[in-house]
Amino acid sequence: RMWGVLACVCSIGLGWFLTFTVEDRPEIITHPDNEDSIKAIIPTYRVPRVFTSSLLMLIAGSLSVSRLPPNVSFKREEVELEDGFIYVDWYITPQSEELEKENSPIIIALHGITGHAQENYMRDLCKQAALYSFRIVCINARGAGGTKLASAKGFHAGKSDDFRSVVEYVNSKFPQSILFGVGFSLGANVLGKYLGEWGMDCLMQGAVLFSNPCDLHVSSEKMTSTWLHRNLLNARITDNLKKWMQPHRSVFGKIVDFAMIDAATTIREFDEHYILPVFPEFSDVDDYYTKSSSCEYISQVKIPLLVVHSKDDPICPISAISNAVVDEASNITICRTKYGSHVCWLNSLNVYNRSSW
């Protein structure tokens, strides 16, 4: 009987520990004139205690499923490029037709490295944005999401011209609709670079960057900083990059040395044998990281921009996001949370029905 009581107490205690939440008040860095209005719209993040471990949240986030509501689907569309095409997935709800008639605003979203338009975090965005009468179109980076490549040009961390092509396409199709941008991880880097390159001519009215690597040199160093980073995170992403390339081997066959690709054990090694031969404008990997890092362009962004980052991000260090950009530009706001890991911010333990902050 004593052991039964003890087991019961332990079970209750474990359940309490797992379900108990920790209050995480975001740190807001913005122009003084914007501070009150920004703080009024950004809620406190309540994180399950078990997810105060960034690694556990990252694992749970990667395994989580974001279920679509009934009568909701994605509609794929092809967008022509100068050297091929790219595919976008429109989030279609029973209200989509009416929203189109009303010229409701449109969010153009881009996923992270080795992801695709219907990733769980992209679905989370679609479901939340639809509640506020936004239309959402999610970009598949070249060759992602089961799409084909028309030429031996895939995606890379700074390939903002493809994003520009989608923006121009959506703008021409719905010229009366206001456009916004949302990027996650590598997609955030691409979006940030694009916004800085085009300034007031970016055709957008606002944007949000989630878990932006910002400085690719810093992220690359982070991914080799510990045994765990090298052998779990770095190795996993490298394997996923190889899987992305697998169905496109015939396209890259005459350009890429697949023996070296297969032997790559880090992202940097993969970049050396994929990026450099496919994109000869980069002299070496360091040159690629420098020219593709959005930190070189963020200060040139002219539209309202919200940068959301977690201090415990195990992939993209918070140190890469400088407060200096806020001092230079009143249109930029940085929101830092203590917890959230990388593109997660889970607020529930239910990985079968993902719920994010």
| Active-site amino acid positions | 185, 313, 342
Burial class (CB in 10 A: 0-12, 13-18, 19+), 258: middle
* Residue 168 main-chain phi, psi, to 5 deg: -65, -40
Alpha carbon 322 to its chain's center: 19
* DSSP codes, 278-327: H-TT-SSHHHHHHHH-GGGTGGG--S-EEEEEETT-SSS-GGGS-THHHH
For residue 137, give the nearest of 212, 83, 86, 65 by alpha carbon.
86
* Helix ranges (DSSP H) in the chain: 2-19, 35-41, 54-63, 96-101, 120-131, 160-173, 186-198, 216-222, 227-228, 235-245, 249-252, 258-263, 267-278, 285-292, 324-328
Output the CA–CA distances (angstroms, integers) from residue 279 to 265, 273, 284, in the order listed. Answer: 21, 11, 10
Distance CA 154, CA 184 (A): 18
Distance CA 178, CA 307 (A): 20
In this structure, what token pair is assigned to residue 106?
């449109």
Q: ∠80-82-86 over CA atoms, to 5°?
A: 35
Output the CA–CA distances (angstroms, integers) from residue 15 to 9, 22, 61, in the order listed. Answer: 10, 15, 20
92, 165 Cβ separation under 8 angstroms: no
